[in-house]
Amino acid sequence: MKIKFRSRTTIFIHDLIMVLLAWWAAYWLRFNFAIPDDFVVSAWQLQFFVAASQSTIFWLLGLYRGIWRFSSLPDLFRILKAVLVGVVFIGLSLFFYDRLAGVPGAVLVLYVFLSLVFVSVPRFCYRFWKESVLKESDGQRALIVGAGVAGEMLVRDLQGDHTSKFIPIAFVDDNLTKRRCEIRGVRVLGQVADIARLVDELNIAVVLIAIPSATDAQMRVIVNHCERCHIPFLTLPSLKEMLSCQVSGGTLRDVSIKDILGREPIRLNWTAISESLKDKCILVTGGGGSIGSELCKQVARINPRLLIIYDQSEFNLFRLDTELKSVFPLLNYEAVLGDVTDKAAVERCFQRYRPDVVFHAAAYKHVPLLEKQIQQAVANNILGTRIVAEAAIAAEVDRFVLISTDKAVNPENVMGATKRAAEMLCQHLNNCHSTRFMTVRFGNVLDSAGSVVPVFRDQIKAGGPVTVTHREVSRYFMTIPEACQLIMKAETIGKGGEIFVLDMGEPVKIAYLAEQMILLSGKQPNVDIAIEYIGLRPGEKMHEELFYKNEALMGTGYEKLLLAKAPEYDSEVFWAALNQLLAVCAESGEAIALERNLCQVVPELKRTLCNH
């Protein structure tokens, strides 16, 4: 049975006994272990007063609020303070009572040191026993990557928590000045490149990565070394994720694919965003989708006057409604079930709520599926955008933000062409009305509905194979929160007519993404989980682009946010082609006719029919 010093009564009794021992030991040391009889009588008579006084002061100064298992330097200072206050009180009381008769001054001095030792040493011995003896039998031997502040805090937490399943054995750090240094008894034994060697030599069971400030490139290097060891590895959250929490063993998580994508995450000025959107009525179309729902949650943080969530999916609205009620109970919002192609429903929504800002995220986006659904793609992505934009103009909305995609650049598929047409529509409307129209264009979004990451995750869970279209195919990636922050920042600085683009760094090969996801799941690519190359699907491009060559890309003064100043097109030609396209969509819906008319609206569309 393990002894647990958790009862305050038990600790109080312990300290009471230690005070009495210190009192008698002070007399023994003062008289060289042969106390004269008259002083024995005096010590005996005063011991109860000393014990009662000192114990009361211990209690009043908070000695029994701490836990022995976590005894530290502040606890030692608290004990010293309590002992000093106690001896001053006892000394003054005895001086006024009988001028310290029977109590030599040396006894009081010795009592201070002996009380401090007798009361504090058992606490620190218990902590050492908990950290060193009990943990060694239960935990996994862990190698810590990073001997900085986060690594020190992690080791301290692991050593202080007897329930932790990890035992810190050694550090690795690329800072050569830390080589052979010890941090809380744990030595720095090498660099990141030595991980595999140390795992074998020290019988390491898990690697803990404690570098919250690591870039994606640095994380890739660390992960590559960890993967060669074929043991689990965990990481602390990034600095941004840790702003509201303390470093501890409980914050360790699996390394995720976003940790190693090779691009620094975007960090935007929330103050400016908040000032632009607070006290506004904000409408989000497609608010129940992957981007739309995250956008609603980001907007909710700003506490707008009213948030309108417009979506055609009852289930998505219900799910988001439930989450918002739980996380943002004071948020003033309305969930509206409706289709952006339903002109009457859209107009009723705008006239009822009179929004100040519109984020238009409603769109069909799955490339291979829309190749055979051109009528639905045109209706939802182009007609739906026109209906919402015209309703915004009629309701005198101040700002309208279109959510677009990199597939709208030199499109080779129906989805990209319809989104490019929506971009052009907003540009032409911006020149004619007071409502400011702007576009935000970005690449693939990690973990959005139907994106490659959840597909790969499901395939890995099923045991494979993981299907990749082509060995060389690449895409730009960003996280859902990043995408939404980009959208909100663009709304803040947009003057109207702009196309904003995120500097997304280098594109990532989908084959690399598949390999990393397999490795992060603890499996080996083409050993445990097969990777199968199935060829490009209809409408898919080998490599995506973020802007046209003639869009005069320029900076905005904000980190990673770029401005693509699109060239102007003849308005009469555009509106004639667009009206003809929408007329065909409403009347016959015939695919070939729609595709030919789509080519007239979007001259950049690279399709065979455009040349006939």
Q: Is 529 helix (H, G, I), strand (E, B) or coil?
A: strand
Q: Are 252 and 208 in contact (CB under 8 A)?
A: yes
Cβ distance 476 to 406 under 8 Å?
yes
What pLDDT, on the 0 to 100 scale, is given for residue 243?
Answer: 35
Report the distance separating Cα 217 and Cα 223, nearest Å.
10
Q: In this structure, are residues 492 and 273 in contact, taking their beta carbons and an 8 Å threshold? A: yes
The fourth-level CATH superfamily of domain 139-255 is NAD(P)-binding Rossmann-like Domain (3.40.50.720)
Task: Answer yes or no: are the C-beta atoms of 359 and 401 closer than 8 Å.
Answer: yes
Cβ–Cβ under 8 Å, residues 63 and 78? yes
pLDDT digits (tens, 9 = 90+) for 238-296: 444 433 344 444 445 555 555 555 555 556 566 777 777 888 999 999 999 888 998 99
pLDDT of residue 449: 58
Token pair listed for 129: 């026993």
Q: What is the DSSP string of 176-199?
A: GGGTT-EETTEEEEE-GGGHHHHH
Tell me how far apart the alpha carbons of residues 607 and 612 are, in angstroms, rounded to a whole number.
10
- Bridging pattern class, strands 357-360 and 444-445: unpaired
pTM over 0.75: no
Contacts of 62 (CB under 8 A, 6+ apart): 78
Q: What is the pLDDT of residue 251?
A: 47
Q: Answer yes or no: are the C-beta atoms of 286 and 363 closer than 8 Å.
A: yes
**CATH 3.40.50.720 in the chain, residues?**
139-255, 270-601
55 phi/psi in degrees, rounded to 5: -65, -40
**Is 386 exposed, middle or buried (CB count within 10 Å of its CB: 0-12, 13-18, 19+)?**
buried
Q: Can you give the pLDDT at residue 396? A: 93
Coil/strand/helix, residue 274: helix
Give the pLDDT confidence score for residue 263 in this predicted structure.
Answer: 54
d(CA 456, CA 593): 36
SS3 321: helix
For the 270-601 domain, the top CATH level (class) is: alpha beta
Q: Which residues of the chain have pLDDT under 50?
A: 1-5, 69-70, 134-137, 238-251, 612
pLDDT tens digits for range 85-99: 888 888 888 888 778
Q: How far is CA 258 from CA 48, 85, 264, in A?
A: 65, 56, 10
Alpha carbons 140 and 304: distance in angstroms, whole number: 48
